[in-house]
Amino acid sequence: MQISDLDKIVAIETQIYTFPWNKQVFTDCLNAKYIAKVLEKGEYLVAYALMSIVLDEANILNICVSPTQQGNGYGEKVLNYLLDLAEINLIQTIFLEVRASNKIAINLYKKLGFNQVGIRKNYYRNSYNLREDALIFTVKRRNY
Ligand X SMILES: CC(C)(COP(=O)(O)OP(=O)(O)OC[C@H]1O[C@@H](n2cnc3c(N)ncnc32)[C@H](O)[C@@H]1OP(=O)(O)O)[C@@H](O)C(=O)NCCC(=O)NCCS
Of 6 and 135, nearer to ligand X (C-beta) is 135
Within a 13 Å sphere around the CA of 67, how many CA atoms are in the beta-carbon half?
9
Region binding ligand X by CB under 6 A among candidate stretches 25-33, 37-45, 101-109, 115-123: 101-109
Binder of ligand X out of 51, 98, 134, 135 (CB under 6 A): 98
Give yes or no for residue 74 binding ligand X (CB under 6 A).
Answer: yes
Which regions of the chain does DSSP assign to beta strands (E)?
35-41, 44-54, 57-65, 93-99, 115-125, 131-140
Query: 23: which residues sit within 8 A by CB, 6+ positions away?
Result: 6, 7, 10
Catalytic position from the list 97, 123, 132, 144: 97
Of 72 and 126, nearer to ligand X (C-beta) is 72
- To 10 degrees, what angle do helices 23-31 and 6-16 make? 130
Give the separation between CA 60 and CA 82, rounded to whole angstroms: 8
Give yes or no for residue 82 binding ligand X (CB under 6 A).
Answer: no
Give yes or no for residue 16 binding ligand X (CB under 6 A).
Answer: yes
Active site residue 81: no
Q: Are strands 93-99 and 57-65 parallel, antiparallel or unpaired?
A: parallel
Task: Map residue 45 onto helix, strand or coil.
Answer: strand
Site for ligand X in 32-71 (CB under 6 A): 63-65, 70-71
Site for ligand X in 104-133 (CB under 6 A): 104-105, 107-108, 111
Site of interaction with ligand X (CB under 6 A): 16, 63-65, 70-76, 98, 102, 104-105, 107-108, 111
